[in-house]
Amino acid sequence: MSHRFSQPQLPMVVLTDLDGTLLDHHSYTYAPALPALNQLQDYNVPVVLVTSKTLAEVSALSAALGLDHPVVAENGALVAV
């Protein structure tokens, strides 16, 4: 039996938490994540922010990052499309 290895596939969508994941836990900067976010945008892979933050907070961050995708906010109680 032969095995064939295919090229890795791009994800269809990326869902990410914010605090301590996309944002630095202490400074809240997203600068270290920008290269990966830019590459995902280049490949048209949507990035969905998932957070306990309020819609106002996550909307401002989403705009600053140039993201135009749904967000999950308010501890999952709100999905804004």
SS3 38: helix
How far apart CA 12 and CA 9 sit, in angstroms, is 9
**64 pLDDT above the threshold of 80:** yes
Average pLDDT, the chain: 92
pLDDT tens profile 16-35: 999 999 999 899 999 999 99
Q: Report, at the CATH architecture level, how domain 22-80 is classified.
A: 3-Layer(aba) Sandwich (3.40)
* Radius of gyration of the CA atoms of the chain, in A: 15
> Model confidence at 3, in pLDDT bands (50, 70, 90)?
low
Reply yes or no on whether 17 is catalytic.
yes
Task: Tell whether the model's pLDDT for residue 53 goes beyond 80.
Answer: yes
State residue 6's pLDDT score.
67
The pLDDT value given to residue 11: 83
* Active-site hit among 17, 19, 42, 68: 17
What does the buried/exposed string (b/e) look like for 65-78 if buried means 16 or more CB atoms within 10 Å of the residue's CB? bebeebbbbbeeee
